Amino acid sequence: CTADGQFLIVISRNLTRPALNLSSLYVKDGQEAECKPKLSTARLVTFHFPITSCGSSKREEDVSLIYETDVLGKKMIQTGKLGSITRDSTFSLHVQCKYTGSQETGLQTNVTVYTVSPPPPASEDRILELELRIAKGGDYRSWYVDSDYPIQRILQEPVFVEVRVLDRTDPMIVLRLHDCWATPVRAPDHEVQWSLLVDGCPYEGDVYQTLLHPVVVFSDKVPNTSQAVEVKTFVFLDGKFEQPLTRKVSH
């Protein structure tokens, strides 16, 4: 703050980490030409303007006059087909000049940088292995094994299914089932299908909709790495004769 009533603000790119994008900086509410940077290099940017311009505020405190302004940073936003992202945090530099009479009495500068912490890295970089298994009851405590199949169920009887991530202990991994469907054969791309979940929600075209259950977390499980659903038993029909298909249903 100068004795003749000027803001002189110098900002280094190294004020933040990662380095600040100096070209994104501007004076809040400052529309006039004098509010633009007076000097800009690869390492620093300088703003120099009167304390009464560029949208600055003024207030009295005892026998002093206080002038305040803010330098902000614009976020670079990237827009794609399915959403928008930014990799910039919010930058705000608050500058306060305090005067008593006509003499400069001091400068108070408060720097506030709001930085979103990056997520912790995955414990390992490899392909996720998933397992679908069927529970013997709605408590999801005991499970059928390979030697138990095929399992016989009466139509409309519930089947308790769990999908889980195997051999991962990273607490940042979250499993969300998006689209789930059944086919009369092992091939998931078979032309005959019946939807169970669509966009993470029960298929609305089914009278007996799939139920999503809270996952029971035991000591051997990592939270959020499994999802439990309940499906009412059904049978695929031959589209021409409306007779049940006789193929074995695989899991």
Domains plus CATH for the chain? 6-114 (2.60.40.3210), 129-232 (2.60.40.4100)
Q: How far apart are CA 1 and CA 92, in angstroms?
A: 19
Phi/psi-derived region of residue 199, left when phi > 0, alpha when psi is between -120 and 50, beta in every other case: left
Q: How far apart are CA 56 and CA 58, in angstroms?
A: 7
Amino acid present at 20:
L
Please list the pLDDT of the chain residue by residue as tens digits (251 residues).
887 888 999 999 988 877 888 999 999 988 889 999 999 999 999 999 999 999 999 988 887 888 889 999 888 777 666 555 566 777 888 888 888 765 444 554 443 344 445 555 555 567 888 999 999 999 999 999 999 998 988 888 999 999 999 887 777 788 889 999 988 888 888 888 899 999 999 998 888 899 999 876 654 566 688 999 999 998 887 655 444 455 444 44
Written as six digits, the tokens of 62 are 């005892």
Burial class (CB in 10 A: 0-12, 13-18, 19+), 240: exposed
Q: Report the predicted TM-score, pTM, of the whole model to 2 decimal places.
A: 0.49
Amino acid present at 198:
V
